[in-house]
Chains A and B, each alone.
Chain A
Amino acid sequence: MAPQLIIVLVFFFWPAITALRQSLYVQDAFGLGETFAGLANFTRVLASRSYHEALVNTAIFSVSVALGAMAIALLLATMADRVLRASRAYRTLLIWPYAVAPAAAGVLWMFMLDPTLGVLTRAMTVLGIDWDFRLNGGQAMALVIVAAIWQQMSYNFVFFLAGLQGIPASLLEAAAIDGAGPWRRFWTITFPLLSPTTFFLLVMNTIYAFFETFGTIDTTTSGGPGGATRTLVYKLYQDGIVGLDLGGSAAQSVLLMLMVGLLTLVQFRYVERRVQYH
């Protein structure tokens, strides 16, 4: 007990409290003194245009990654659930991207989409698309989204498949006897019964897109071009570690903590309700 408590206190609460404190102070240019600033850091961060851009980028990125990775995973898991005996083999074939580092996933897709020798670039040239993610912000965003979806899909697949296998076959058989086709059975029985899994994955995918994709973005686009793929965490890193703006980055940390805290709270509320429901 004691060892873990010490680690948690020193490496979790101490930094968290430091962030809270720093967010309320302004450091002078030489880092020698600091003055209490109230909420000045927060108003400065929230008013800055680059923070708004990072917020919008994060929203576009997270929503695309969550929806894309979950839709593909649900489709493939539903198919794998149908083929019963072979589903384990397919699971092996589909789960391994989970083990690939987000940074490595970024490099793999960056290679396929390389402006001069990428395989997919050639295909797009045939279609008349002028592809260069180093110059085009929208294309840079597309690159990191695709890499993140590729990596996160396997995680969702495992949970959707487990969820699908937990649905009693008798319900689906009864519906089939009543004449409901596969399409109808899926949307009226399977999908509603999967909703706890779907909701859980929505939260987990958002957290993944917010934080773990830092490596994907840093190895491929470094937040560019022109800040087009700079997400909130990337901005936090640039302002705090590279730019050494302690007050501003601490305020950003606190804002991010609030967002994640809110998300987790919503999730636990939902889980509680689910428990009561049963």
Chain B
Amino acid sequence: MRKPLPAWVDISIMPLINIAAAFVVAGIIIALIGENPFTALAVMIKGAFVYKGALGYTLYYTTNFIFTGLAVAVAFHAMLFNIGGEGQAMIGGLGIGFIVLSLDPILPPLLVILLAIPVAAIFGAIWGVIPGWLQARRGSHIVITTIMFNFIASSIMVWLLAGMLMAPGQMSPETRHFADGVSLMQIHHIGNALGWPMARSPLNLSFVIALIAAVAVWVLIWRTRLGYIIRATGHSEKAVIYAGHDPARIIMIVMAISGGLAGLMALNEILGVQERVILNFTSGYGFTGIAVALMGRNHPFGIVLASLLFGALYQGGAELDFEFQTITREMVLMIQGLIILFSGALALMFVPAAERIYGKLASADRSSDTRKGEQNG
């Protein structure tokens, strides 16, 4: 007999089973090309956490995933599938570019940075709220429009970066460097300044902003009136109308928040690392955010953990590519793909079996209890 799984199993055990299954399949493939899967796994783990600077790199990737994962999760609480994190992040980066490039000659760096942070969120929010409006007021499906908005954002980036924003005197589609000091401080600088020597890595203050965002999302969803209405919208629009709220308005608000979170991802890449706007700085993080949110069960805590896993995969995967001749970059992408497949698309595959096993365990428990009861009675 099947029995619904308790929440703790659903949150902790099931994702682990999914990841394990992905690693088993990946291990088989690695064995098939003649490498030892266990050595490969060891290299990956060392590459992600142990080598000098590895942890910094892992956390730097993690930052991107936290932002895009949170973006997907917030929208999902209102049953909106925001596929547009990629485009929203690009436009967020564009916003940073606009504000910094126009103000860094006249304003002190700190002020420019403080302005750039909300601007990234606002630009992302605008790119999220337009599909939100189309869904809420015109009935255009959010999945279709957000995908389309990714293409539009990408084209706008090419047009601007190869055009009016392109730095003069060079050939690549990118802006000039930001003025000195206009960047989010990197963690190893802070560490070194405080007397804790750290290896060089791109990890910067946006990681802290990402963690604050995760807490803020938790508060929003579970501790505010707006979050309550957002969740109600996700479950039953009729109930929201009955309660006296306008679901269309809620949808637009949610998409603004979601887009804003995705837009903040640009902080890490543009203001934290590149210090200029470049093409394709989002490199798929927006899409991976969907898998991160799925794996994290749309809970900020789960999303931070899932982001850490994906960060480790990115960084450890790069190390794998570096250490093994036979394991190419494409191979690493395939392993990441398997993880996404098992923990995202196939997240529920093992649930029926687990329910059956749990049902058996539970009934075995109960019958032994009754037997004990009979003996005692």
The answer to whether A and B belong to the same complex is no
Chain A interface residues (CB < 8 Å from chain B): none
Chain B interface residues (CB < 8 Å from chain A): none
